[in-house]
Chains A and B, each alone.
Chain A
């Protein structure tokens, strides 16, 4: 299913040479989007991490072994969006205005076809009721609804922040929002400023320029999903990882 080109194409460029795997993006995302903490039995297969940082390596032995951290969220595919194609409920929506792929939890039946279809393993299923320790629910972000058990959820480039930026622009009598007003939580939280966000459709934006740079690449580019998340690295072996299966990135790491 070919998706119509939206007016804006919001996307991000992640400089992997600056990322050192601190996890600030993953935690900021969970706080912003009211993603519940893990239960005692939750593991990396049943957890909810809209932004997950994977560790990959160059395959060499010590001391030539080198690691790279890959922050991977929904790649917001622009073409043949697999999750949209398979959803029987129309619970996945590609915004005609922003190009952002959004999940609509109240429509979702929990069939998880979209999870199977997603080549980036960037969708997560709510296996449990979202529970915070008593009292901590007072700290939830009022701009984001808590999702129920039995539905799929994923990154939406902090949709509530886009809504807020749009409202601010409208209040100022403008139709165009100020790019500084719409910054996803992971971008804002990155201590090494490895993530650049903006409109890829505007060739003048920093994100657009970075996405066109020599060292930019996308994950699984060959399958033609046109992801709007780009990666940067000066290291060739890192760029080659763009064609690898993300689930196979951590063959050595196990959970304790």
Chain B
């Protein structure tokens, strides 16, 4: 049989085959594989494998000093988790920081002009020459972003040896308000803490307790059924979320709330009379408090009179109580007068403030006193060293600039070209968390002295300068050659004192100091995650004290109210480190959980009044300058208040090509007493 294959037949077979193939998995598999092939590129990282080990250390990124367990692969930590309790996002991602894009390993000069590459590598000698160019008689100052460390003592000794030296602790450190308690209790602030562990009522004037504030995470304590939390602040915060009572008092009226609570305690509940009898200014206090009845206070603070009375009754029914004058990680202190009225409540209640021993310094000798920034004459500092080697602290930079002479040179020590260090002329690199042994001393709010060490898990990178070596290079004399030696000396001093116990990490057991045969053995225990806790001291008998400390006339005045008040706010995990892991973008960029630094939150009613709308651009200005912001209307914000978050900027998050920009604190002029919690502001629609 003859078969004639025509061209048409060929086409038919081809078409049939093509159609048939489409009914088989082959083409779909091909598409699938092609898709996978085009999705997998050599630059997509593959997690490394290797021996898995665990190491223990302590987080030194903020003063809380949480115990950590690091899971390591080939010696490199791949995760950090809390040992005793869960930890904050900053601590969880601390192992990313040694690899952060903002990290520097050689000294750099920072060009503050509009240039493409603001960081230029320089030698250490060039940095030192810039420092030495100034005359010996010029004022030299050290700004310590993490006071209380062994290195802080070294700086204070260096400053004490200078003809015109100034030692400045960060104006925005936790517990700074306890300096006010010094005058009430006649005890230095480094020996006073809040007795939070024993309190049944915590009255917090703006302390972000659930946002990492304080000696140790207190979230679980706040959730205890037998603890009452009264949160007094104008904005619904994460701490207010957990509070039993939230009292949104107008900004600047915190003292009035405190006096009104005192009024109810004394007049209605008959609490505090005995204490009052011992006060040197009893008559003045009584007459001042009598003026601020709940009804009067309600008119000033915007609170309901019954809410103030109920708060006082809650306190009275749940003694002992602690009354905290909080600092905001961005907004700072409330101010001396407010703090006097607030801390005085503790004296009235006979609880709250507790005495502790100071931590031994690593060496003997004269130390320069810690001065408040506000007491430094304007334009007086010609050489400023910012020690941000152990962490950062958010502060209004214009307040620092005001103290600098026109030709001042500013040198920062920091592992990162970010945060406060980025404002300096030169940055000298230091080793970051996990690459060097760091110490975590007593948190300023702690009721008892504590000390622990953060062990290095990673090998140190080449290039960074030891802060002690830098101190030697600028002419400081110290018998130690490295920071590690200096810290070891303090550890030895604690051991020599023979007081307290070390809670060991391994089994949670407690070992008395005397049981350690040497300081080295104690140091080893601390490096393995142990924590030294001092023995409690017998509280001194109350002496003659003042409840007003001369602040009566200021407290009697009506607080100034602004038409529109700017309140910079933040959380500890957003400001304690100059750099944060890029993964924190999950909170502020990839979701709306946290507001970015350029989002101004206002009450919808205020927005309507000002003619600004949700999501629209506006211009926020104060006497210090202006920035562009995006409006977020939020009914949780008090009317006539602008809440502006201070958080990690693009540089701190490690964004490529990020440039430095102004933040909320740049708009805040620090007042005469160094307080910038509230600032008068204007908000207008842009364009």
From A19, which residue of chain B is reached at the shortest CB distance? B241
Complexed CA–CA distance, A107 and B32 (Å): 8
* Pairwise interchain contact B92-A140, C-beta atoms closer than 8 A: no
- The 8 A CB mask of A121-164 against B (1 = contact, 0 = none) is 00000000111111111111111111011110000000000000
Enumerate chain B residues within 8 angstroms of A137, measured Cβ to Cβ.
45, 47
Complexed CA–CA distance, A212 and B86 (Å): 27
Asked if B638 is at the interface (CB within 8 A of a chain A CB), the reply is yes
B606-647 CB contacts (< 8 Å) to partner A: 614-615, 629-639
Complexed CA–CA distance, A134 and B581 (Å): 13
Enumerate chain B residues within 8 angstroms of A66, measured Cβ to Cβ.
236
- The 8 A CB mask of A26-48 against B (1 = contact, 0 = none) is 11101110110110101110011
Contact (A134, B99) CB under 8 Å given A57-B636, A256-B597 = yes
* Pairwise interchain contact A38-B589, C-beta atoms closer than 8 A: yes
Asked if B46 is at the interface (CB within 8 A of a chain A CB), the reply is yes
Asked if B423 is at the interface (CB within 8 A of a chain A CB), the reply is no
Enumerate chain B residues within 8 angstroms of A28, measured Cβ to Cβ.
89, 92
* Pairwise interchain contact B604-A252, C-beta atoms closer than 8 A: yes
* Pairwise interchain contact B45-A130, C-beta atoms closer than 8 A: yes
- The 8 A CB mask of A93-128 against B (1 = contact, 0 = none) is 000000000000011011000000000000000000
Contact (A253, B101) CB under 8 Å given A32-B79, A34-B47, A150-B39 = no
* Pairwise interchain contact B593-A26, C-beta atoms closer than 8 A: yes
A-B CB pair tally, cutoff 8 Å: 242
- The 8 A CB mask of B47-68 against A (1 = contact, 0 = none) is 1111010000000000000000
- Contact for A48 among B43, B45, B590, CB less than 8 A: B590
* Pairwise interchain contact B78-A142, C-beta atoms closer than 8 A: yes
* Binding stretch for chain B, among A1-9, A167-175, A189-197: A189-197
* Pairwise interchain contact B211-A22, C-beta atoms closer than 8 A: yes
Enumerate chain B residues within 8 angstroms of A106, measured Cβ to Cβ.
36
Complexed CA–CA distance, A189 and B573 (Å): 15
Which of B211, B239, B581 has the largest count of A CB atoms less than 10 A from its CB? B581
* Pairwise interchain contact B47-A44, C-beta atoms closer than 8 A: no
Contact (A49, B586) CB under 8 Å given A26-B591, A62-B637 = yes
Which of A23, A42, A61, A139 has the largest count of B CB atoms less than 10 A from its CB? A139
Contact (A253, B584) CB under 8 Å given A21-B238, A129-B44 = no
Complexed CA–CA distance, A220 and B131 (Å): 65
From B599, which residue of chain A is reached at the shortest CB distance? A256
Asked if A166 is at the interface (CB within 8 A of a chain B CB), the reply is no
- Within the complex, what minimum Cβ distance (angstroms) separates A202 from chain B? 25
* Pairwise interchain contact B655-A136, C-beta atoms closer than 8 A: no
Enumerate chain A residues within 8 angstroms of B248, measured Cβ to Cβ.
62-63
Which of A20, A55, A129, A188 has the largest count of B CB atoms less than 10 A from its CB? A20
* Pairwise interchain contact B633-A252, C-beta atoms closer than 8 A: yes
* Pairwise interchain contact A20-B585, C-beta atoms closer than 8 A: no
Contact (A27, B220) CB under 8 Å given A38-B589, A42-B590 = no
- Contact for A255 among B92, B211, B592, CB less than 8 A: B592
* Pairwise interchain contact A30-B44, C-beta atoms closer than 8 A: no
**Interface size range on A against B:** 35 or more
Complexed CA–CA distance, A134 and B98 (Å): 11
* Pairwise interchain contact A146-B583, C-beta atoms closer than 8 A: no
Asked if A204 is at the interface (CB within 8 A of a chain B CB), the reply is no
- Contact for B86 among A134, A135, A141, A188, CB less than 8 A: A188
Asked if A24 is at the interface (CB within 8 A of a chain B CB), the reply is yes
- The 8 A CB mask of B76-90 against A (1 = contact, 0 = none) is 111101000111110
- Contact for B590 among A18, A34, A49, CB less than 8 A: A49
Contact (A145, B92) CB under 8 Å given A23-B594, A55-B593 = no
- Contact for A148 among B44, B78, B631, CB less than 8 A: B44
- Within the complex, what minimum Cβ distance (angstroms) separates B245 from chain A? 12
From B75, which residue of chain A is reached at the shortest CB distance? A138
Enumerate chain A residues within 8 angstroms of B599, measured Cβ to Cβ.
254-256
Enumerate chain A residues within 8 angstroms of B634, measured Cβ to Cβ.
252-253
* Pairwise interchain contact A149-B39, C-beta atoms closer than 8 A: yes
Enumerate chain A residues within 8 angstroms of B81, measured Cβ to Cβ.
188-189
* Pairwise interchain contact B35-A138, C-beta atoms closer than 8 A: no
Asked if A218 is at the interface (CB within 8 A of a chain B CB), the reply is no
Enumerate chain A residues within 8 angstroms of B384, measured Cβ to Cβ.
none
**Interface size range on B against A:** 35 or more
From B630, which residue of chain A is reached at the shortest CB distance? A256
Complexed CA–CA distance, A139 and B248 (Å): 43
Asked if B146 is at the interface (CB within 8 A of a chain A CB), the reply is no
Complexed CA–CA distance, A234 and B55 (Å): 41
Asked if B456 is at the interface (CB within 8 A of a chain A CB), the reply is no
- Within the complex, what minimum Cβ distance (angstroms) separates B26 from chain A? 16
Enumerate chain B residues within 8 angstroms of A138, measured Cβ to Cβ.
48, 76, 99
* Pairwise interchain contact A133-B101, C-beta atoms closer than 8 A: yes
Asked if B41 is at the interface (CB within 8 A of a chain A CB), the reply is yes
From B585, which residue of chain A is reached at the shortest CB distance? A38
Asked if A67 is at the interface (CB within 8 A of a chain B CB), the reply is yes
Enumerate chain B residues within 8 angstroms of A37, measured Cβ to Cβ.
581-586, 654
Asked if B93 is at the interface (CB within 8 A of a chain A CB), the reply is yes
Asked if B252 is at the interface (CB within 8 A of a chain A CB), the reply is no
* Pairwise interchain contact B92-A47, C-beta atoms closer than 8 A: no
- The 8 A CB mask of A239-254 against B (1 = contact, 0 = none) is 0000000000010111
* Pairwise interchain contact A26-B656, C-beta atoms closer than 8 A: no
- Within the complex, what minimum Cβ distance (angstroms) separates B595 from chain A? 6
Asked if A52 is at the interface (CB within 8 A of a chain B CB), the reply is yes
Complexed CA–CA distance, A3 and B301 (Å): 58
- Within the complex, what minimum Cβ distance (angstroms) separates A124 from chain B? 9
Enumerate chain B residues within 8 angstroms of A27, measured Cβ to Cβ.
89, 92-93, 581, 583-584, 586-587
Asked if B242 is at the interface (CB within 8 A of a chain A CB), the reply is yes
Asked if A65 is at the interface (CB within 8 A of a chain B CB), the reply is yes
Contact (A256, B596) CB under 8 Å given A67-B241, A140-B47 = yes
Asked if B271 is at the interface (CB within 8 A of a chain A CB), the reply is no
* Pairwise interchain contact B87-A133, C-beta atoms closer than 8 A: no
- Within the complex, what minimum Cβ distance (angstroms) separates A155 from chain B? 13
Enumerate chain B residues within 8 angstroms of A109, measured Cβ to Cβ.
31-32, 35
* Pairwise interchain contact B595-A24, C-beta atoms closer than 8 A: no
From A61, which residue of chain B is reached at the shortest CB distance? B635
Complexed CA–CA distance, A158 and B433 (Å): 28
- Contact for A24 among B36, B92, B100, B629, CB less than 8 A: B92
From B73, which residue of chain A is reached at the shortest CB distance? A142
Asked if B135 is at the interface (CB within 8 A of a chain A CB), the reply is no
Enumerate chain A residues within 8 angstroms of B371, measured Cβ to Cβ.
none
* Pairwise interchain contact B88-A254, C-beta atoms closer than 8 A: no
* Pairwise interchain contact A256-B45, C-beta atoms closer than 8 A: no
* Pairwise interchain contact A192-B220, C-beta atoms closer than 8 A: yes
Enumerate chain B residues within 8 angstroms of A110, measured Cβ to Cβ.
35
* Pairwise interchain contact B238-A22, C-beta atoms closer than 8 A: yes
* Pairwise interchain contact A62-B603, C-beta atoms closer than 8 A: yes
Enumerate chain A residues within 8 angstroms of B39, measured Cβ to Cβ.
148-151
Given A27-B584, A35-B586, A49-B586, list of 18 further CB < 8 A pairs? A27-B92, A30-B586, A38-B585, A40-B657, A42-B590, A55-B593, A57-B636, A61-B605, A62-B636, A63-B638, A69-B593, A136-B96, A139-B77, A148-B40, A148-B41, A189-B87, A252-B635, A256-B630
> Interface of A with B (CB < 8 Å)?
18, 20-24, 26-28, 30-32, 34-35, 37-38, 40, 42-44, 47-49, 52-55, 57, 60-63, 65-67, 69, 89, 106-107, 109-110, 129-146, 148-151, 188-193, 250, 252-256
5 A-B contacts (beta carbon < 8 Å) = A28-B92, A67-B236, A133-B100, A134-B101, A139-B96
**What 9 pairs between A and B have smallest CB-CB spacing?**
A47-B590, A256-B599, A256-B596, A37-B582, A137-B45, A38-B585, A148-B39, A135-B99, A140-B47
